[in-house]
Amino acid sequence: MPTFQLDGKELEFKPGQTIIQAAKDAGIDIPHFCWHPSLSVAGNCRICLVEVEKAPKGMIACATNVSEGMVVYTNSPKAVHMRNAVMEFLLINHPLDCPICDEAGECKLQDYAYKFSIGKSRFDEEKNHKDKRVELGPNVMFDQERCISCSRCIRYCEEVVGDPQLTFVSRGEKVTIETFPGKQLDNPFSMNVIELCPVGALTSRDFRFRARVWDMSHTDSVCVGCARGCNDEIWVRDNIIKRLIPRENMDVNEYWMCDHGRLDTYRFVNDETTRVNSPMMREEDVSADNDGLRQVDWDDAIARVISELKNYKAEEIAFIASPYSTLEDNFVLQRFAKEIVGTDNIVYIPNIQGEDARMLIRADKTPNSTGLNLLGIEPINMKFIDKILSKQIKMVYVMNDSIGRLERTDEIAKSIEVAVLQISNFYEHSRKATVIFPASSYAEINGTVVNFQNRVQRLRPAVASLEQERLPGDFAVSRLDKFGAHNDRWTKGMRFNTRPSWKVIQQMAKVFGNDFGYVNTEEVFDDIAAKVPAFAGMDYESIGKLGVTAGQAEAVTA
């Protein structure tokens, strides 16, 4: 491989690479605002100016190809002077309103101002004032004064989404961005411009002013909005999710996620009005105000389900597994159905809507139907529904789903004598259940899901529930960690009285004399890896932050 020198270090480069790319490959970050690895090169912010030996002027690292033997300095007096001058220029009209800016704490301009600016300006005149509150679209707010005209947002819409909705208007100090006449920034991926924007010019209308980034912790997770399983970070303050943002995984979602995934997959976790916060049980003497359901403790609810299970023959009992739940929850449910109850009546309800989008969004609106197929759990079919309608199946145990998603719901509901629900939130019809177990949501548990590419990915607890499992590898980090002031999400805020579904099912198995013996979720996964060939050889460590692909071996049941 050819080589060049960067700040005295000999680095290899691939022919055709620019200085900034070759440095990045070597783990060296040259300051940049307008450059982004997924976008075309604009070369307009100039902060990446470097000194190149024998070149008469500074060169921008994002648009200068490396050549054999080239000698580049990013920290020579000349390079530092050029960077300082660019910072002074960019800050001339910048409002410096960091104390009220959502981006503060994660802003490139702020970081570089601390690192590279001389800390004073020669500009004594009145700053240029512009509109600070432009609604670019339903989800994105624009502050014109903060914009440094890097054009990342414009190029993203054109080049990544393929929907050019933004453009520059005017010139010089008057320049700003706008949507085209009569258009809004409303593509399904519009909110990615928020993280792309290197300053606080583009902010989330959902998250604006709701928390400072240094008051929150963030945990690596996976979006559960569809079968893509975009890697994301869950940001939490006082045990309440404040925002989801994408996490880079070049094999799954690159740098992006869709607006639906960001906005619609966290609110139900926070929603005190719909969260199930106690086991509930139907009793005839309880007032109709409460739909006949009474709050009970865990032991009473479990005892009631066990007694109902004993009232029916194995073939009269059915289990609805969940493509919204983890492999671990579904595997333990499957073991319970087969080994304890002795029935093969276990299926799941698919959720396919429309077609796969050109970018990210999948027609399969569940995060784990692939995982269920690999476990050998099949989608529900007419034969199964007929068994319910003809009352051959009399008791149904539904984990993290709703039979309301089936056609002929009312007929099906009337045919069922006993319905046990293990759910995180109430929904229409759920109050007709015989017993309800409060289930921890995806944001409160450890576990794995398998996306449409067969990629096994980890969920981690970002929010604490009353009975929290904490594995040694669990981590949430905060912007304050670097100052040693870790924001411990486990000690603050309200907690729901929920349990991971597999733990409740194991507790029931124990009463039947067959304790599966799992101490934590990781042990459940280890058992899956031992019994299901598709997952052979995997463990939580090998899945890591970015996931691994499950083998193509034929699925077998536990």
Interface residue list for ligand SF4 (CB under 6 A):
147-153, 177, 196-197, 199, 201-202, 223, 225-226, 228-230, 253, 257-258, 260-261, 360-361
Cβ distance to ligand SF4 smaller for residue 137 or 225: 225
Smallest gap from Cβ 404 to ligand SF4, in A, equals 21
Token pair of 443 as six digits: 């944001």
Smallest gap from Cβ 132 to ligand SF4, in A, equals 13
Cβ distance to ligand SF4 smaller for residue 358 or 482: 358
Smallest gap from Cβ 364 to ligand SF4, in A, equals 9
Helix (H) or strand (E) holding 72: strand 71-73
Smallest gap from Cβ 432 to ligand SF4, in A, equals 30
Smallest gap from Cβ 140 to ligand SF4, in A, equals 9
78 - beta bridge partners?
none
| Number of Cβ atoms within 10 Å of the Cβ of 208 | 10
Rounded to whole angstroms, the Cα distance separating 379 from 468 reads 31
Smallest gap from Cβ 89 to ligand SF4, in A, equals 14
Cβ distance to ligand SF4 smaller for residue 177 or 508: 177
The helices-and-strands tally (H runs, E runs) of the chain is 15, 25
Look at strands 49-52 and 455-459 and give their pairing. unpaired
Smallest gap from Cβ 238 to ligand SF4, in A, equals 25
Cβ distance to ligand SF4 smaller for residue 196 or 327: 196
Cβ distance to ligand SF4 smaller for residue 247 or 489: 247
Smallest gap from Cβ 186 to ligand SF4, in A, equals 16
Smallest gap from Cβ 311 to ligand SF4, in A, equals 41
Instruction: Please give the residue whose beta carbon sits closest to ligand SF4 in the complex.
Output: 261
Helix (H) or strand (E) holding 321: strand 317-321
From edge to edge, which strands make up the β-sheet containing 240-246? Answer: 240-246, 231-237, 217-222, 477-478
Residue 417 burial (CB < 10 Å; 0-12/13-18/19+)?
middle
Largest CA distance in the chain: 91
Cβ distance to ligand SF4 smaller for residue 146 or 489: 146
- ∠ CA 528-530-534, rounded to 5°: 70
Angle between helical axes of 521-531 and 327-335 (0-180°, round to 10): 70
Cβ distance to ligand SF4 smaller for residue 264 or 515: 264
Residue 237 burial (CB < 10 Å; 0-12/13-18/19+)?
buried
379 - beta bridge partners?
348
Cβ distance to ligand SF4 smaller for residue 249 or 345: 249
149 close to 197: Cβ distance less than 8 angstroms: no
Rounded to whole angstroms, the Cα distance separating 470 from 532 reads 25
Cβ distance to ligand SF4 smaller for residue 153 or 269: 153
Cβ distance to ligand SF4 smaller for residue 140 or 529: 140
* Sign of torsion over alpha carbons 504, 505, 508, 513: negative
419 - beta bridge partners?
396
Return the SS3 of 195.
helix
Half-sphere exposure of 110 (CA within 13 A, CB side): 17
Smallest gap from Cβ 145 to ligand SF4, in A, equals 11
